[in-house]
Structure 1
Amino acid sequence: MAKVVSVADVFIDTNILKFSAVKKHVFRPRKDKINWGGIEQEIVVHDMFTTNDLNKIKNETQKRDAVLLGMLAYAGISGQLRYHIHLEVDLETWGLPGMASASGRFFGCPIHEVADPIAPQSRIIAGGPKKPREYVLDFLSGIQHPRYIELTKMTGAYQGKGKPLNLNQARDAYHIWCAECSNMNYFLTMDYKLKKVVDTAKITTPVAIKTPDQLLREVVPKFGVIGAIKFMWQGYRFTVPRVGFEEGKGWT
């Protein structure tokens, strides 16, 4: 069997991990009655239930891209794409609800970790007198590298001289910087505002910022005719049970 060769390296934004965590195992409360010592009493019991977070998404574009994450994950599992994150992405997921998903992290797709853009530094990430978000902002605000400062202006994190950075946009700038320093081909995100800001900014990046739909449209032709046909069929078979399952009782 011929070895599959990856056609691109892709850096994953934090929201990709969030939107791929679709299957949740939860307990749902309901009222029931029992007979205890000849007296009927009302109690609350909890049933095991499986939920699908895709059903919560109302925006059709966002829902489409969330579904396509299954196809992109299969591209990584089959070796046609290589995915990467930085430790800072992992740290950001700590503050997100619902990340403990039966879907697995990015549907079980292998994810590699890139090196720091600058030499590793000692830092506090939790504990002490500040909240973790404040420590993150301290870390990002302390970076004086010229390229990172440029990227803070590109993403909108820079609020003016002497003013604090906007945390969310500063994180975006750092992630893009990590992708640049690691020679990534693409930066995969479902942050449509970031995509729009980067596309219209005067400062540019060599890393192509893509949404799931855009990335699939660009990379699938690179698999070759036969490779693309196989990928679409096998990727579809991989994706459907992972994103199209019905909610219901029990943990499946």
Structure 2
Amino acid sequence: MGKTKPVATVFIDTNILKFSAVKKHVYRAKKVTLNWSDTNFDTEIHEPHTVNDLHKIKNEVQKRDAVFLSMLAYAGISEWLNFYIHCEVVPETWGLPGMASPSGRFFGCTIHEVPDPVAPQSRIITGGNKEFKEHTLDIMCSIKHPRFIELVKMTGAYQGASKPLNLNQALDAYHIWCAESAKIDYFLTMDYKLQKVVGMSKVETPVKVVTPNQLLRLVIPKFGFVGAIKFMWNGYKFAKPRVGFDEGKGWT
């Protein structure tokens, strides 16, 4: 009898969407000599060019994890894993460069949404005399649920009773809370500092915070012997053209 799919559920941190936006379409400057009415002159034109953002990553551990994201996306496409986000993750990507990538959001893998742990009474994310991040911080600071207060201390967002929460770490706490409430197995991130802080905290969470490399090592044995072999072969064929391409001319 084959293994039952899915074998695990995974909540996606915002940085996973950022690092999976690998392919970029840009224009690159090129100096050329043109002839106009028997006169030659030098000018600059811009040609369409495709770039691979993986080439920009200098940290080898980070680059390895970024490469593995396409394998994990294939695990979702082949229904071995189910991936989730919360609606707050999407506004976090606003303003990040290159998110409209031809690679597709998380390489085209379906991503489901989890509900709020506690239904909010209201939300204001834009308007008035405040910036978007200020509204988001107001929302985080207004949550007085005991579990959220524990999690903001776990992630390091709490800076004292007289100070506002650290926004990025408060959002991490909120996303982990969402994952807990939805009974998600893993929280996938490439924020290595977050993983370290959570691991050192006295506050515990049933959601295991993992990197792409760690998640692959944990879930592949659950596919079964035959399933694991098929996944590794087909996953490689899926990933190679998506993350292994060279930079070149044109938009493909």
Superposition TM-score, scaled by structure 1 size:
0.96
Q: Which moved more, 1:180-189 or 1:121-130?
A: 121-130
C-alpha separation between the residues in 2 aligned to 1:152 and 1:135? 18
- Aligned residue type for 1:14: T
Aligned position for 1:153: 153
Residue 239 (structure 2) aligns with: 239
Q: 1:114 to 1:65 in 2, by over 3 A?
A: same
* 3-state SS in 2 of match to 1:79: coil
Query: Who is 2:6 aligned against?
Result: 6
Q: 2:177 aligned with 1:177, yes or no?
A: yes
Shift of 1:98: 1.3
The offset of 1:193, in angstroms, is 0.2
Distance between the aligned counterparts of 2:87 and 2:5, measured in 1? Answer: 26
Determine helix, strand or coil for the equivalent of 1:209.
strand
Q: In 2, distance between residues paired with 1:45 and 1:128?
A: 42
Quote how far apart the aligned CAs of 1:31 are: 2.2
| CA distance in structure 2 between the aligned counterparts of 1:158 and 1:3, rounded to whole angstroms | 43
For 1:126 and 1:30, the matched residues in 2 are separated by 41
Which residue does the alignment assign to 2:194? 194
| Number of residue pairs aligned between Structure 1 and Structure 2 | 251
* 1:73-222 to 2 correspondences below 5 Å: 73-222=73-222
Shift of 1:3: 9.2
Code of the residue aligned with 1:244 in structure 2: it is G
Are the aligned partners of 2:3 and 2:224 in contact in 1 as well (CA < 8 Å)?
A: no
Q: Deviations over 1:171-219 (max 9, x none)?
A: 1001101100110000000000000000110001000111001000000
Moved more, 218-227 or 114-123: 114-123
Please report how far the alpha carbon of residue 4 of structure 1 lies from its aligned counterpart in structure 2 after TM superposition: 6.0
SS in 2 for 1:246: coil
Looking at structure 2, the residues matched to 31 and 115 of structure 1 have their Cα atoms a distance apart, in angstroms, of 53
SS at match of 2:187: strand
Question: Aligned AA for 1:186?
Answer: Y
In structure 2, how many angstroms separate the alpha carbons of the residues matched to 1:167 and 1:149? 14
CA displacement 1:83-136 (0-9 Å, x = unmatched): 000001111011311111110000000000111111133222123211111111
CA contact (8 A) 1:31 1:43 kept: yes
* Alpha-carbon separation, structure 1, partners of 2:110 and 2:70: 13
What is the percentage of aligned positions where both structures have the same residue?
A: 68
Q: 1:82 & 1:166 partners in 2: Cα distance?
A: 30
**Distance apart, 1:230 and its partner CA:** 0.6
The 3-state SS of whatever aligns with 1:87 is coil
Structure 1 residues without counterparts, runs of 5 or longer: none
Matched, 1:27 2:27: yes
3-state DSSP of counterpart to 1:32: strand
**Any conservation in 2 of the 1:117–1:181 contact (CA below 8 Å)?**
yes
Aligned partners of 1:188, 1:204: CA distance in 2, in Å? 17
Segments of 5+ residues of structure 2 without an aligned counterpart are none
- Separation (CA, whole Å) in 2 of partners of 1:31 and 1:198: 51
Q: Distance in 1 between matches of 2:223 and 2:138?
A: 43
Cα distance, 1:30 vs. partner?
A: 1.7
| CA drift at 1:57 | 0.3
Q: Which amino acid aligns with 1:17?
A: L
Q: Which deviates more from structure 2 when the two are superposed, residues 10-19 or residues 118-127?
A: 118-127
